[in-house]
Amino acid sequence: MSERILYTKPSITALEVAYASDAAANGWGEHCYDYIHRFETGFAKYLDVPYAIATSSCTGAMHMGLAALGIGAGDEVILADTNWVATVAPIVHLGASPVFVDILPNSWCIDPEAVVAAITPRTRAIVATHIYGNLCDMTVLAAIAKRHQLILIEDAAEAIGSVYKDRRAGSLAHFGVFSFHGTKTITTGEGGMFVTADAGLYERVLTLSNHGRKRGETKQFWPEKIGFKYKMSNVQAAMGCAQLERVDELVARKREIFIAYRDALQSILGVALNPEATDCTNGFWMPTVVFDQTTGINREQLIAAFSHANIDARVFFDPLSSTPAFQAVLTNVNSYSIPFRAINLPSYHDMTTSQIKRVIDCVIGLCSA
C-alpha cells in the first residue's frame, strides 16, 4: 500500500531547533522571557496591532479576553454553531450563555442575519470565527456590533495569513485570538496569542495572565486580583520566533496546495471548496471540500474512501449544539447539514505533487462512482 498521507503536521527546520535549543540552554534567570517578548513584538508587528500577549493556548487567550471585559453570569455571547469546542468553553467557564446561530452556506462562517435575529437585551458580544481560514464578513458584523453596542471578537485560531480588505485576520475586532497548536500553519506545539488595539484591555489581560500581578508592581509576589496561569513558555516562544520568520513561506505553501486542489476540482459539478473574495486573501489553513446534497455523497462514504486510499480523513466540525453539553438548535440548518457531506483535505507543507494527486484522485473517484 502507498505511504499514508497525514492531514497535517508542522514544518520544522534547523532554525526552530536552534532557537528552541538556545532557549532550553540559556533562557533562564533574567533571560527567561527573552523569546516570549520577542515573539509578542514580532507578532504584533506582523499583524500591525499595538499589543500582543503570548499564551499557553488560544482557549486561554479567549478566556482572559472575555474575563477582562467582565463577561459573566447573565450575559449572552453569540457565536457560530460550527466551531470547535475551544471557542465556547471560556464562555461557559465564565458563567455566560452561548447562543449558537447558523453559518452561511458558502463561507461556512457566522451568518450576520442570524446574529441580528439572536440579539437580546442580555447580549454582550459576538464571536466571529474565521473557520478553516475562511473570512467572516467583518464589515457587516462590525456595523451590527456598533449599532447594538456589542463587543466584537475575532477567533482567528485558524486564520494566520488570511487578510480581510488589507487588514490581517485577528486585527479587526475589539480583540483577536490565535492558536499555535501543532496542526496550525505556524506552531509552538501548544500555544496562542491575544491581540488588541485597546491599551486598557491589554493591561487588564496582562495582569490576568500573570496570576493577577499588575505590571510595575514593586511588591514581590503581590497579586492585585485572582488571575490565570496562561503564559507561554520561553522554549515554545523560541519556536514561535523561528516560525514567524518563515510565516510568509508557510502561508504561501498552504496557498499553493489549496490552489492545486482547486484547479483540479473546481470544474466538478456539486463540489465546493474554501471561498476567497476578490478583496480578501484566504490563508487556506485547512482546504475543505463540501459536496452538494444532490450528489448523495456523505461523511461515511468520504471516511471510507480516504481510509481505503490510506489518507487521513479529518471531518468537518459538528455543530456545537449537537454535542452532549448543549441543547440542539435544529434551525441552524447549514451547521447541521454541511458536516455530513464534507471533508478536510491534507495540506501539510512538505506534501509532494504525487501525494496531492492521490488526494485529488480519491475525491474524483467518489464523484465518478
Q: Write the pLDDT tens digit of every residue in 100-118.
A: 999 999 999 999 999 999 9
Three cell numbers, residue 43: 507578532
Domains of the chain: 14-245 (3.40.640.10), 248-368 (3.90.1150.10)
Length of the chain, in residues: 369
Q: Which of 185, 237, 248, 239 is nearest to 52 (CA)?
A: 237
Provide the pLDDT for residue 369: 64
Query: Cell digits for 98?
Result: 452561548
Query: Residue 230: is its pLDDT beyond 70?
Result: yes
Q: With cut-offs at 50, 70 and 90, classify the pLDDT of residue 367.
A: confident
Q: Which amino acid is at 266?
A: Q
Percent of the chain having pLDDT more than 90? 96
| pLDDT at 255 (0 to 100) | 98
Q: How many Å apart are CA 77 and CA 125, to the nearest integer?
A: 5
- 313's grid cell: 480523513
Alpha helices in 246-337 (DSSP H): 247-265, 299-308, 333-337
Average of per-residue pLDDT across 176-185: 98
Given this model, what pLDDT does residue 1 score? 64
Nearest to 240 by CA among 34, 86, 28, 48: 34
The burial of 352, by beta-carbon neighbours within 10 Å (0-12 exposed, 13-18 middle, 19 or more buried), is given as exposed
pTM of the model: 0.97
- Cα 36 to Cα 217: distance, rounded to the nearest angstrom: 20
